[in-house]
Amino acid sequence: MQFKVQGFSYNSNTSPATSRWLWCLGVIPAALVVFSSAALASPSATTGKAISGQCAACHGSDGVAVNSQYPNLAGQHYPYLVQQLEAFKSGKRKSPIMHAMASGLSKKQIKDLADYYASLNNISCSKGKH
């Protein structure tokens, strides 16, 4: 059996140490590309909207809460939304309801939700309500 990895030939006579080195030479860069591309993917407001269904129950379908006890999310700053969701998820910010909602979110989902709500206009602010 013979194949090449980045210009190096491998065959059944290649030493085990060299085989492991060649394997790592091919696998490690591939793994870095796969995992880093997911982590570096830019936030998506479209994806955020698609996963915002549970948020709408309290914060409104357009990010403007119908009940004043819940904050409006529409038009909030992206970094603030990410920070708050991460704080709810970690338990740093205390709210049993929000901890339950945020604890199942990945970092990418948190960024997507933040991007979605940051992209919306806060209608209530333009009408003089906060």
Distance CA 111, CA 88 (A): 14
What is the sign, positive or negative, of the torsion defined by CA atoms of 63, 68, 71, 75?
Answer: positive
Query: What's the whole-model pTM score?
Result: 0.66
- What's the pLDDT at 83? 98
So where are the chain's domains? 2-40, 45-126
Check: CATH 1.10.760.10 for 45-126? yes
Is residue 95 within 8 Å of residue 85, measured between CB atoms? no
pLDDT, tens digit (0-9, with 9 covering 90-100), for 66-104:
899 999 999 999 999 999 999 999 999 999 999 999 999
Count of CB atoms within 10 A of residue 22's CB?
A: 18
Asked whether residue 35 carries a pLDDT value surpassing 80, the answer given is no
Which of residues 31 and 55 earns the better pLDDT score? 55
Tokens 């915002």, located at residue: 52
